Amino acid sequence: MNIISQVTDSAPKYIIYDFGILTSRIHEWLSSMMNTTWTSVVEMVLIGVVFLSFYALVGLILVYAERKVCAFIQCRLGPMRVGPWGIFQTIADFIKLLMKELLITRNADKFLFNVAPFIVIIASFLAIGTIPFAKGIQALDFNVGVLYLMSVSSLGVLGILLAGWASNNKYSLIGAMRSGAQIVSYELSVGLALMVVVIFAGSMQFSEIVQSQATGWWIWKGHIPVIIAFVIFMIASTAETNRGPFDLAEAESELTAGFHTEYSGIKFAFFFLAEYMNMFIIASIAATVFFGGWMPLHFGNFAAFNHAMDYIPPFVWFFSKTMFVIFLMMWFKWTFPRLRIDQLLTLEWKYLLPINLVNVVLAAFIVLMGWYLI
């Protein structure tokens, strides 16, 4: 089965790996053995199992990476004892969380207390389905992919608000209210930053946005508006995921652990895992819209160089770009001190949002005048 296909566009010819051929063959094989309904059911189950496995694997890897990056910045070694270089430390921690007793506070709302972690997890699951890992490897390819992503990613705040309120703990409630104000505020800047690339690409479909970068990534050919949008996107998305220095919702020095103070065992692990999965989703979206996603690095008419880059598998490009953005987010967290809640909201409403609005107008003007590379 050959997954390498020759593609011809308005750009010069380039070779990419088309995994759509592989997925089509799997669909044809399943269709030959069962009817349409059962084929769809089996495919959805397979995709769900793959995403569940991927979710757990990425969470374990990112927790380990966070500890090592933090240790490097602070001139430490990080986990070193469980396995070579401490690579099994996160697995040991996960087993410990599985074995912990599930406790619930007196007078807590038991139903909402138990439902809240699942809402946070489900929101990130819905979001990850739109990410194009390579050509032909994408669960959901909506023509309004950016709008869908912004919609489902905002559902996670419902789980956080429910967790804080249902815990019957004033510190949890304060953390949840902080998180709600923070996420609702910074969603505006995230959406407007993505809108700049949508204006340049002319589409909200992620596969089309990636395809529009065949002749160059938008971070290079989108001029100053895209660079400004990328910087704002990184700041706003870091705040939206409640990561430092914007982790006011779980400020240990003030609120113990914020909205998940009363959670233990696997329920606490859900919140912990969702934070790292949201970081991966944010980084993968940044890699997709600003750095070409799975698209290889091309420079103008340098045919030999572009041809050589095309032989690197697309998922290597995608994960390399995503890990680079994740490293920036970790570097960001362990470099700057935590802001106060009033400073956090001032940054969004008085600075990022006005800059974003002007930037969107500037991007629209550049596209109208045609002052960019197609």
Domain boundaries defined on the chain: 88-369
Residue carrying the six token digits 């700041």: 235
Q: What is the mean pLDDT of residues 265-290?
A: 90
- For the chain, give the percent of residues with pLDDT over 90: 29
In tens, the pLDDT along 176-234 reads: 888 888 888 899 999 999 999 999 998 999 999 998 888 888 998 888 999 999 999 99
In tens, the pLDDT along 143-168 reads: 888 999 988 888 888 888 898 889 88
Using CA atoms, how far residue 119 sits from 33, 113, 162, 270, in Å, is 36, 11, 9, 10
Q: Does 252 score more than 70 pLDDT?
A: no
Q: Does 290 score more than 50 pLDDT?
A: yes
Q: What is the mean pLDDT of residues 107-120?
A: 89
Q: Does 3 score more than 80 pLDDT?
A: no
Q: Does 117 score more than 70 pLDDT?
A: yes
Q: What is the DSSP string of 302-364?
A: -HHHHHHHHTS-HHHHHHHHHHHHHHHHHHHHTTSPPPPHHHHHHIIIIIIHHHHHHHHHHHH
Q: What confidence tier does 374 reach under pLDDT thresholds 50, 70, 90?
A: low
What is the per-residue pLDDT for 353? 93
In single-letter form, the type of residue at position 268 comes to: F
Alpha helices in 32-88 (DSSP H): 36-73
* Rounded-to-integer distance, Cα 315 and Cα 284, Å: 11
What is the per-residue pLDDT for 253? 66
Q: What is the mean pLDDT of residues 258-271?
A: 84
More confident residue, 96 or 9: 96
Angle at 88 between CA 85 and CA 90, to 5 degrees: 115
* Rounded-to-integer distance, Cα 317 and Cα 295, Å: 7
What is the per-residue pLDDT for 254? 66
Q: Does 35 score more than 50 pLDDT?
A: yes
Q: What is the mean pLDDT of residues 250-266?
A: 76
Least confident of 276-285, 295-304, 338-347, 363-372: 295-304
- For the chain, give the percent of residues with pLDDT over 70: 93
Stated as kind and residue range, the H or E segment containing 16 is strand 14-17
Q: What is the mean pLDDT of residues 106-126?
A: 88
What is the per-residue pLDDT for 7? 46
Q: What confidence tier does 289 reach under pLDDT thresholds 50, 70, 90?
A: very high
What is the per-residue pLDDT for 9? 44
Question: Using CA of residue 360, residue 361, residue 366, residue 367, what is the dihedral sign?
Answer: positive
Q: What confidence tier does 11 reach under pLDDT thresholds 50, 70, 90?
A: very low
Per-residue HEC secondary structure of 193-251 comes to HHHHHHHHHCCCCHHHHHHCCCCCCHHHHCHHHHHHHHHHHHHHHHHHCCCCCCCHHHC
